[in-house]
Chain A
Amino acid sequence: MANQDIPNQEILLDMYKKSALAKINDENARRVIMNGSLPMIYYSPRGQEIIPAAISVNLNNSDSICTIYRGMHDMVCKGIPLEKLWGEYAGKSTGTCKGKGGPMHITHPETGCMLTTGIVGSSLPIANGLALSYQIKNEKKVCVAYFGDAASNIGAFHEALNMASIWKLPVVFVCQNNRYGEHTKFEKATSVTRISDRAAAYGMPGIHVDGNDPVAMYNAAKTAIDRARNGEGPTLIEAMTFRFYGHVFGDQDGYMDKEEKAKAMAEDPLPKFRAWLIEQGYASEQVLMELEVAFDKQVKEAIASALSAPWPELDELNIDVLAAAQH
Chain B
Amino acid sequence: MMESLNNQITTVEAINSALADAMTIEDGIILLGEDVADPEEGGVAGVTRGLSTRFGDSRVRSTPISEQAIVGAGIGAAMAGMRPVVEIMMMNFATVAMDMIVNHAAKLRFMSGGQTQVPLTIRMATGAGLSTAGQHADYLEAWFAHTAGIKVVTYSSPAEAYGLLQSCIFDNDPCIFIENFIAYAQKGTAPEKNSRIPLGKANIVRAGKHVTVVSYGPQVGIALAVAEKLSAEGVELEVVDLRTISPWDKATVLESVKRTGRLVINHEAVKAFGVGAEIAAVVQQELWGDLLAPVRRVGAPSCPVPYSRPLELAFMTSEADLENEIRLALK
Contact = CB atoms under 8 A, between A and B. Distances in A.
Interface of A: 40-41, 88, 91-92, 97-105, 117-121, 150-151, 153-156, 181-185, 188-190, 254-255, 311-312, 314, 316-318, 321
Contacts of A102: 131-133, 307-308
B64 A104 contact: no
Given A104-B136, A184-B35, 8 more contacts: A118-B134, A118-B136, A181-B65, A182-B35, A182-B65, A311-B311, A312-B310, A316-B308
A314 B314 contact: yes
15 contacts: A91-B311, A92-B308, A98-B308, A100-B307, A105-B307, A118-B132, A118-B134, A119-B93, A153-B66, A181-B34, A183-B44, A255-B35, A255-B39, A311-B310, A317-B306
A156 B95 CA distance: 12
A184 to B, nearest CB: 5
Nearest to B312: A91
Given A153-B64, A317-B315, A101 B133 contact: yes
B232 interface: no
B96 A184 contact: no
Contacts of B308: 91-92, 98-100, 102, 311-312, 316
Interface stretch (B115-123, B161-169, B297-305): B297-305
Nearest to B93: A119
Interface of B: 34-35, 39-41, 44, 62-69, 92-93, 95-96, 130-136, 301-304, 306-311, 314-315
Contact of A318 (B63, B134, B303, B307): B303
Given A41-B132, A254-B41, A317 B311 contact: yes
A321 B303 contact: yes
Nearest to B307: A102
A104 B133 contact: yes
B40 A183 contact: yes
Contact of B301 (A150, A182, A318): A318
Most chain A C-beta atoms within 10 Å of own C-beta, residue among B41, B307, B310: B307
Contacts of A312: 308, 310-311
Nearest to B132: A41
B34 A184 contact: yes
B250 to A, nearest CB: 33
B208 to A, nearest CB: 32
A100 B96 contact: no
B129 to A, nearest CB: 12
Given A102-B308, A119-B96, A184-B62, A317 B136 contact: no
A41 B312 CA distance: 15
A117 B68 CA distance: 18
B65 A316 contact: no
Given A153-B66, A154-B96, A156-B96, A119 B135 contact: yes
A267 to B, nearest CB: 25
Contact of A40 (B35, B44, B95, B131): B131
Contact of A190 (B41, B64, B130, B314): B64
Contacts of B93: 119-120
